[in-house]
Amino acid sequence: MSHTPTPCTLVVLANSVKHGQCCVAGKRLDTKEWVRPVANASGAELTCQQASAMNPYGVYKVKPLQKVQMGFENAVPLKNQPENHLINREQWVQQYNIAPAELNQFLDTPASLWGCGDRVSYQSIMHEHVVIEESLQLVKVDQLMLYVDSNDKRRASFLYNGIQYDLAATDPNFDTHVNNQGELMSILCISLGEPFNGSCFKLVAAIY
C-alpha cells in the first residue's frame, strides 16, 4: 500500500449511508488506487460536514463522479479495510466531474467479490485465512435487479463473473434507481463493511 501524499485528487465513487453519516470512497485520479477517507484510525464514518467539498457556489456533500481534492494525515489500514486514510482538517475542494462513460477507466475485474455469499467471516480475515487486498470494487454486473425485501430492506441481486449475489444496498439514491432500472449502466461500487455479528457484509455502496 503506497502512502497517499496530501493533498490528492480522488474520483468519488460512493458516498453511502453508514450509521446515519457518510461513508465516502474513491479512486485516485493519478494512480487509480482506492482510498476510503475515514474520521479516525478505527475507520469511523465521516460527518456530512467532513464529507463536503467547496465549489464556486458553496460547500456541498460530495457525490459520485465528482473529482475532489482531499487532504490526509496518513494511511490507517485495517485488515478488513486496507485502503483507509485518515482525513486532515483541510476543506475538500471539488474540481469538476467525470462523465458516466469515463467510469469504464476505473473498473475492477476481480475473479469474485470476496468469494460467494453476502458476507465474509471477520475471524477468517483477522486470522488471515482470507486476505483482503482491497475492500472496495467497482464492477460491471449482469442481470441487475433492485428491490425492497419483506423486511423493508433495500437490496440488489445480480450476476458477477458467473456468481449470483444478493446484497444489501446503502446507496442513498436507491429509491430513484429502482424507478429507473431500465436506464442503469449496471456498474456497482461494492464495499466490505465493518464487522457486525461476526461478519463483514458486502454492501452495494453506489449504483450507476
Q: Please state the domain extents for the chain.
A: 8-102, 107-207
Each residue's pLDDT tens digit, 132-143? 999 999 999 999
Neighbours of 164 (CB within 10 A): 12
Q: How far is CA 172 from the centre of its chain?
A: 12
pLDDT at position 161 = 97
* Average pLDDT along the chain: 94
Q: What are the 10-residue block averages of pLDDT along the chain, 208 residues in total?
A: 69 88 94 96 94 96 97 96 96 96 96 97 96 97 97 97 97 94 94 96 97
pLDDT at position 1 = 45
pLDDT at position 17 = 81
Give 52-96 as a DSSP string.
Answer: EEEETTEEEE--TTEEEEE-EEEE---SS-TTEEEE-SSPEEEEE
pLDDT at position 18 = 73
